[in-house]
Chain A
C-alpha cells in the first residue's frame, strides 16, 4: 500500500479538524450568551426532580425565574428549609419558608368498603374512568382506585394498598402536590403537618344514599358538629368539614358516636396507614 495515502488522509483530516475547532473557538467567543451565574448556583440547591410542583416546567426553569425575580425563593415546595435559605443567600435576601405540607387522602372507600355499580373494563386510569362514568365504585365523590396519584409521585412516597386505596408515606412526602393535582375527584388534599385530625370522606350524598354507597362515608348526621364549639366543624352539603383555623390541631376525636368512624388522627408517631 502506498504510504502517501496514509499521509494525505492524516494531513487532510487533521487540517479539517483544526479548521473546525478554530471555527468553534471563534463562535464561542462571538456568540457567547451572558448567563447569570446565579442560575446555576440556584440549580445546585434545588432537588432536581423536575416534579413541577412549583408551577414551572422544571427545576432549571424555576431557577431562572427565581433569579429574574418572577418566582418566590421559597416557591419550591419540595426543597428543605436549608435549601431555601441557601437560595436566599445566593439571592441576598431572607427566605420566607412555610410549614411543611403533606398529601392526605380524604377517602377510605376502598374495594372492601364501597358498593359496586357494575363492571368497568375500560382504561385502568382514574381520569379515563372518570370521563366514562367513574370506574366501578358507586361513590361519585371518592377515590376511583386506579392509582394515577401513585404513578405521578416523583418521590415514591405513595403506594396502593391491597384495598386499592393510595397510602402516603409521610416521611417521603415532599408536598409537591402532583398527586392532588392529577386526582380527578380531588380526593387528595395538601395539609400542613400541624393538621392532626381529619374526616376522611368526600361524599356529599344525602344520608340515605351515602349509607348505601360506602360503609365508611360521612353521613352528615352532625353529631361531631354538636360535640365541638360552634364553627369548629362545619356541615357543608351533607359532609362535615373541620375548620383548621380553630380546630383539628390536636389528635383528639371529638365524639365516639361517629357512626361510620369517618374520623382519623395523624399523630407524629403514626403513619397514615389506612385500616383495610
Chain B
C-alpha cells in the first residue's frame, strides 16, 4: 500500500545514518551560559534580574507582558555575570544574560507539579506552558501557549504530533521517540486536553521504523487512543501544512493557519517539554541537539542546556575536523550558517550540522533555463522561478499577486534548481519587501 503523503516536494539524501542509532548523551553542565532574551517568534523579553544576582536553575531571567511571547529561564545555578548584547545564532546581536555557574549541582526552582493534570483547569495548564517558556521545538519557536489558545470561533477537532523530522541529518526527534515515549504520550495527552480534542495522530516518516514501532507499542501499552501514522519519506513532510494534508487530507486555505481546518500540530520535543513542565514543574532549560555531518569527529545526539556555546557542544563531540567548511544551526535545507561558534544554543537549535567542502554550491548562479523543475516540486503550488525573478526586479506588487506570501521557505526550489539560482533567498527578500509595501500603503491611507 502506498503510504500517505502530500503532493510535490523533494527527496534529498537524508544522511541520518550518522546519528540515528546513537542514544542521547547528557552534556556536562557548562560553566557559563548565555540566555538570549529572544528565542521565539513574538515580542522580546525584558530582563528581570540584575547583575550579580544569584539565579537558580529554572528561574525566569526574562519575561514579557505581550501575549505572543515566551519567558526565558536560567539553565544553570549561578550568578548573573553580565547583561549585554551578544551574537545570536539566528543572526544579529541581541540582548542576553550571561550566567556564571556557582553550584555544580542544580539547585532547581520548580513550579508546583500538577500531577493530577486530568482534573486541572485548562487555563491553569496553558498558563503553566506559558510560564515554562515552551515554544515549538521543531525549529520555528512559535510560543506553544498561543497555539493552544485558538480564537473561540475556530473549532479544533484534531491534534497531530509531528515526528516527521524531514530535514536531512537531524535525528533529535527520532531518538526522543525511541527513548522518551513515556514522556511524549502524557505530554500529547495534556495538549489534547487543553485543546479539548479527541482525535490524536502521530505522524512519523517511514525512515524511522524503530520509532514507529516504539510509539505504537507505547500507545497500546498506555491505553491511549492515538493513531500512529507512517508517512512517506519526502521533504518537507514535517511542515505543518504538508503534514495536515498527508494525515487528514485537509488543505489549509491560502493565507490561513492550521486552525482554519480544525487542526493543531506540535513537535515531539514540545510534547516532552509540556510533560516536564506540567508533571514535574520544570521550565524549558534543555533540549536534544543533533550534532552531525562529515565535519565533526564524533557525531552524537546530546541533551544540552539552553545557552551552552556551540563550541562547547562541538568539543564534547570530538571537535571539528580539518575539512569542515560550514557549520549550520538546524538542518541543511532551512538551517542558518554560523560564523561565531560562541553563539549559544537556543530553544530552536534542533541540530548543529558541520559539513566539509563537497556538495556546497559555491558556483555563480546560471541563467534560468525554464525547465520548470522548481514549479513541479513546490509543495505550496507556487511558481518559484517567476516569483523570484519578480522579486529580483523589484516588482513587489506583481510578486504578491502570484502568492509570494504563501511561500513556506522550505527551500525545495533552490535544492532542485540545475542553474543553482538562489530562488528561496530571492523569495525571502521579496516577502520582506511586500511587508514594507503593506506598511507604506497603510501610512499613506
- Pick the contact of B425: A56, A118, A122, A205 (CB < 8 A): A122
Q: How far is the CA of A123 from the CA of B93 in the complex (A)?
A: 22
A140 surroundings in chain B (CB, below 8 A): 87, 92-93
Residues of A within 8 A of B (CB-CB), count: 20
The answer to whether A123 and B337 have CB atoms under 8 Å apart is no
- Pick the contact of A134: B91, B422, B425 (CB < 8 A): B91
Chain A stretch 110-166: residues in CB contact (< 8 A) with chain B: 117-119, 121-123, 125, 127-128, 131-134, 138, 140
- Pick the contact of A117: B84, B339, B444 (CB < 8 A): B339
Interface flag for A15 (CB, 8 Å): no
- Pick the contact of A133: B336, B362, B426 (CB < 8 A): B336
Q: How far is the CA of A132 from the CA of B328 in the complex (A)?
A: 12
The answer to whether B429 and A128 have CB atoms under 8 Å apart is yes
A-B residue pairs in contact (CB < 8 Å), sample of 20: A55-B443, A55-B444, A56-B444, A118-B339, A119-B362, A121-B362, A122-B422, A123-B422, A125-B429, A127-B429, A127-B432, A128-B426, A131-B429, A132-B91, A132-B337, A133-B92, A133-B339, A138-B339, A140-B87, A205-B93
Beyond known contacts A123-B429, A127-B432, A204-B85: 6 more, CB 8 A cutoff = A118-B337, A125-B429, A127-B429, A128-B429, A132-B425, A205-B85
Chain B stretch 51-84: residues in CB contact (< 8 A) with chain A: 84
Chain A stretch 46-80: residues in CB contact (< 8 A) with chain B: 55-56
The answer to whether A133 and B425 have CB atoms under 8 Å apart is no
B337 surroundings in chain A (CB, below 8 A): 118, 132-133
A206 surroundings in chain B (CB, below 8 A): 84
B84 surroundings in chain A (CB, below 8 A): 206
The answer to whether A133 and B91 have CB atoms under 8 Å apart is yes
Contact A128:B425 (CB < 8 A) given known A56-B444, A118-B337, A121-B362: yes
Q: How far is the CA of A193 from the CA of B429 in the complex (A)?
A: 34
Please give the distance in Å from A153's CB to the nearest CB on chain B. 14
Q: B residues touching A (Cβ–Cβ < 8 Å)? A: 84-85, 87, 91-93, 336-337, 339-340, 362, 422, 425-426, 428-429, 432, 443-444
A205 surroundings in chain B (CB, below 8 A): 85, 93
Please give the distance in Å from B164's CB to the nearest CB on chain A. 26
The answer to whether A128 and B444 have CB atoms under 8 Å apart is no
Q: How far is the CA of A122 from the CA of B420 in the complex (A)?
A: 11
Nearest A residue to B337, CB-CB: A133
Q: How far is the CA of A123 from the CA of B414 in the complex (A)?
A: 13
A128 surroundings in chain B (CB, below 8 A): 425-426, 428-429
Q: How far is the CA of A93 from the CA of B85 in the complex (A)?
A: 52
Q: How far is the CA of A49 from the CA of B144 in the complex (A)?
A: 49
Q: How far is the CA of A144 from the CA of B120 in the complex (A)?
A: 53
Q: How far is the CA of A205 from the CA of B87 in the complex (A)?
A: 11
- Pick the contact of A123: B85, B426, B444 (CB < 8 A): B426
Please give the distance in Å from B418's CB to the nearest CB on chain A. 18
Q: How far is the CA of A118 from the CA of B444 in the complex (A)?
A: 41
B425 surroundings in chain A (CB, below 8 A): 122-123, 128, 131-132
Please give the distance in Å from B268's CB to the nearest CB on chain A. 29
Nearest A residue to B364, CB-CB: A121
Q: How far is the CA of A140 from the CA of B426 in the complex (A)?
A: 22
Max chain B Cβ within 10 angstroms of own Cβ: one of A56, A117, A204 = A117
Q: How far is the CA of A117 from the CA of B337 in the complex (A)?
A: 11
The answer to whether B340 and A131 have CB atoms under 8 Å apart is no
- Pick the contact of B432: A55, A117, A118, A131 (CB < 8 A): A131
Please give the distance in Å from A156's CB to the nearest CB on chain B. 18
A134 surroundings in chain B (CB, below 8 A): 91-92
Please give the distance in Å from A262's CB to the nearest CB on chain B. 20
